[in-house]
Chains A and B, each alone.
Chain A
């Protein structure tokens, strides 16, 4: 066995002073197995050592919150007996090395987090970011990731109801794959990871342990270099069929009261699952690693502890329930092994072939793990760009619209979501492609809406505003389908925290997220942090992905964005100031990449959203879409495309020019379609609530968007919007 010294520790991703701390705590040099365990528990991915300090500031409380951050997933109350369990998680590093398996196991991992808590997964979403569409790797990575996500979710039979895809050159060397799952659970039957009781059997169930994924969590806590191909063996291999069996078997066992605590073996496998259970329960744990079902020969304790083989769970059972539990796992043809017990020692003690191979106080691994207050730098708000008249002189609205609708970040993503089963389970009432996906809570009148958003461009320009904005965007998306926003999960993707700029981006984005969450009463209930998204010194733009969840008390009141009837009136809720800086228009048409992101006025955001909800409750809105990338006209164009209708726009009464009016990305706005007969009533409600609105025009039967004397064919726009990605992928 390798002798442990400082170099070995460094090879495990530990810093010199961290190794010294380990030796001091242990009062001896750890053996290799112990060092492996320390390195797994102390890496960034498992210990949150750079982020913990700042995450404490997140707003995590709310009247519907049953479980906030700190468990396998967050839980919210959705009335009656029902609760929704949900979380988003990153699988960035593995997906760049091996896109299919990396993405697939990302989906597998997040679903396990959800059903570990007793919930049946009812919807998946994802947020995926790739490099420039010109970059040579992008197409293959996109194809692989989409196939991987589909391959896993489709097999399990959970609908993928939404997501978000972005392209930006900052992801050329580090793609992002964030997977989110929502599950449904009975409020009284939620399972937690905290172990309790002494001498309780510790059970291993699921797939056998192999050598795949060893040091996966450490790999995810390091920057990439030229040798990433060598890291392929650290990517896990997914087996969705076994996960399906594991899901059914666990839910079957959860029907009675045999389980004390349960934890999936995700990052850092058996190590982190056993230690977390013991740590939360303030207990010790003793495992006999010879009893762990292995699929490869001669696996060492070190390998068994660090393997990240998928589709495995660790369970602490009530005494005497072993036989019944085994019967269930036999029925589903899954391995079942009693591998240890809980103890009073507050230590993890591992045995192999009757010899003790590790003995570490649990606190050393969990509570004593390093926590850093890293240095960080504030990002100043950039100067506003003064666009001149000449900038717009040669532009035509029609051409701009076509160009923006076929922009990779705005175009329709059907090529992607046609590869995801989005209708299995028979409750998907809003498919991907809308503001949010919606699934019914089976057998009830209720439905949940979910969306995923990120705004890396804004976050890069000014992290504090960007952090606020992305939460607001999520809140708006949920409202736009008729849901009451309840809570979010966040996946915080950043560069190297050891660099002051990157750490500053993290700190300020988190601050922005926290402020918006607090103001909107839209708490964070779960999430994860992914640092070190950096290759050869080039980091990604700061990319917090926000997964929002909302409730529709009656699914029949759901809203969609497709325009419904000619003669109806189109209103924009919220004030259009003409802020073009950092917009898709500024970047794509004016070629201007500087300037501040649009300002977030949280008061207006909340007031506008709440008033839109009020109009919805009175059933006054016929279709709705939030105004986001590309501004008003892109929103209207998409509503026209979906509804196969046209719109005749009124003459502008605004002081700003038409490009600023149509394409600016001012926040807190919605486009709504209302019937003429209700217009007065609606205007009164808006005025009573001090909500600014503009009457934009009327829905037309003919398929044209008419602006002054310009007629733009919706069919033509639709073609550009729909074809871009398809054509790109077959080129």
Chain B
């Protein structure tokens, strides 16, 4: 399986993502933001970081970058696009996903392990994943998901809330919400479920010496689903 990771000048999880994808068997290529064409890929990843500094709104300049046109084309043709953290922020800026990521409720950067509940397994990302609750890691300042009532209704009606913050037992409640995200939303799909944006970083949880190993489950499963 071929994957591509887009590097914006301020990306800082691009290498981590490259390491993770290769570890689980993807043939990965790095693509520079000023390129216009994408290599042949089964999966495009927008990694975490600060794309163009994000002094304006997170991901807003990246949403207008050169490469992004090809990413949008690829996504609209049904290609798999995964945006993690800053990648998720960029996807909402391009309009490929609804809503916005606001500053965390406690107005502080948060770096810690969280649990997320997998709400929908009927897609390439989570199909046949054998866990309902994953322990992943968040590291962001703007991760509080927000959208209009209509958008929220659309997400709910179509079961597009991919993952929600929860506790170890899978209970979704206010206490398990780290950043004030609307209804504990940690990640969402587009209608066709080929695009997934989420704040947690699976690429930081890929061996037992790190913060945990549930990221491995995510990548292994994704690769299997693409085969």
Contact = CB atoms under 8 A, between A and B. Distances in A.
Given A423-B204, A423-B211, A155 B111 contact: no
Contacts of A555: 209
Which bucket holds chain A's interface residue count? 20 to 34
Given A155-B50, A332-B9, A555-B209, A421 B15 contact: no
Interface in A44-89: none
B137 A423 contact: yes
Given A241-B10, A426-B203, A419 B110 contact: yes
Contacts, number: 85
A420 B111 contact: yes
Contacts of A333: 9
B75 to A, nearest CB: 26
Contact of A157 (B12, B52, B53): B12
Contacts of A421: 109, 111, 139
Nearest to B107: A147
Contacts of A156: 12
A156 B112 CA distance: 18
A155 B109 CA distance: 11
B83 interface: no
A146 B212 CA distance: 26
A244 B110 contact: no
B49 interface: yes
Given A157-B13, A424-B12, A244 B111 contact: no
Given A418-B110, A418-B112, A556-B209, A426 B12 contact: no
Given A420-B111, A421-B109, A426-B210, 13 more contacts: A155-B10, A157-B13, A419-B108, A419-B109, A426-B15, A426-B19, A426-B203, A426-B206, A428-B211, A429-B210, A431-B211, A556-B209, A558-B209
A598 interface: no
Given A155-B50, A244-B50, A426-B203, A420 B12 contact: no
A424 B20 CA distance: 13
A244 B12 CA distance: 9
Contacts of B209: 429, 440, 555-556, 558
B109 A244 contact: no
B7 to A, nearest CB: 10
Q: Which of A245, A248, A426, A558 lies at the interface centre, i.e. has the most chain B CB atoms within 10 A of its CB?
A: A426
A425 interface: yes
Given A421-B139, A424-B13, A424-B204, A241 B109 contact: no
A241 B10 CA distance: 6
Interface string B1-42: 000000001101101100110000000000000000000000
A154 interface: yes
28 contacts: A150-B109, A155-B12, A155-B53, A156-B12, A157-B12, A157-B13, A157-B49, A241-B52, A242-B53, A244-B10, A245-B10, A248-B9, A417-B111, A418-B108, A418-B111, A418-B112, A419-B110, A420-B111, A421-B109, A423-B139, A423-B210, A424-B139, A425-B16, A426-B15, A426-B19, A426-B204, A429-B209, A556-B209
A422 B138 CA distance: 11
